[in-house]
Amino acid sequence: MEIKSIGVVGAGQMGNGIAHVMALAGYDVVLNDISQDALDAAIQRVDKNMARQVSREAISEDAKNEAMGRIKTTLQLPDLGQTDLVIEAATEREEIKHKIFDALLPHLQPHTILTSNTSSISITRLASRTDRPERFMGFHFMNPVPLMKLVELIRGIATDEATYKTCLGIVHRLDKTAASAEDFPAFIVNRVLIPMINEACYTLYEGVGNVASIDNAMKLGANHPMGPLELADFIGLDTCLAIMNVLHEGLADTKYRPCPLLTKYVEAGWLGRKTKRGFYDYRGEVPLPTR
């Protein structure tokens, strides 16, 4: 089916990035959040990021203005009901996602496709609570959305071929690359990435190295653009812990046991860049390791 309009639930880091790329690709976007402040901040961020693209001559000023004109915001979730496809990009908590879909269902058009940007939660389980499991799938963007070229497409057990091909067509229109993943905990990227971050936490927890030595070892020894602890701060330590818990519970393997130090940081509210403290302290001019 042809997709013309897209609803995005959640105006945070992922949601505003999804709205950004969809609007640039010519889709009409309705961006929803429970906070007007979050919506205002999202529009400002999208405008700023597009302005940066204009300055680098990646897009024209006219393309930016047209794209910004395609983004509408709303505090009312039912307003997304008239869109052709909805992308849920809310907090990585399953009960919240269920509540969002439950609230959306009475207002959707019969043909509307539902998707989730979840990084780890079962697509089959999310779909099973809706009236359209065949038109439900995982649409997992990487962060930051405007820069990262990969999108994971995850089919639930009931997802039909037409839904998959429609979402695949959107990925191509965004000039991104799709990786098709089966519906197992954390899919592909986070199944590999987050346990590596968790192992870096154990390496720190056990005193094998400090924050700087662990990150430098992986940047200079494995040619990673960012060390695993710096990356964890960028992702959000709460998100990393949530994904490790999904892996641990979903696969019942002790190798996915979350590091106690990661749990302790989350308990302290040191969640990384978004709270100004994590494995690094971001409150000064230069980030400083906290261990």
As annotated, the binding site for NAD(+) includes 10-15, 33, 92, 97, 119, 143, 274
- Give, in degrees to the nearest 5, the angle at Cα 234 between 243 and 287: 140
Q: Write out the two tokens for 186.
A: 């954390």
Q: Closest by alpha carbon to 72, among 30, 41, 22, 118?
A: 30
Q: Which of 149, 158, 119, 155 is nearest to 245 (CA)?
A: 119
Which sequence positions are flagged as catalytic? 119, 140, 152, 190
Contacts 24+ apart (CB under 8 A), 166-173: 166/1, 166/3, 166/85, 166/113, 167/85, 167/113, 167/115, 167/137, 167/139, 169/3, 170/3, 170/25, 170/85, 173/25, 173/26
CB 236 within 8 Å of CB 91: no
Q: Does residue 142 contact residue 189 with C-beta atoms inside 8 Å?
A: yes
Bridge-based pairing of strands 71-74 and 28-32 is: parallel
Beta bridge partners of 179: 152
Number of H helices, E strands in the chain: 11, 10
Which residue pairs from 48-57 have beta carbons closer than 8 angstroms and sit at least 24 positions apart in sequence?
Answer: 49/20, 49/146, 50/20, 50/24, 53/146
- Binding-site entries: 10-15, 33, 92, 97, 119, 143, 274
* Bond before 260 cis per omega within 30 degrees: no
Q: Which residue has the tokens 């818990």?
A: 245
User: Three-state DSSP class for 23?
Assistant: helix
Residue 158's beta-bridge partner residues?
none
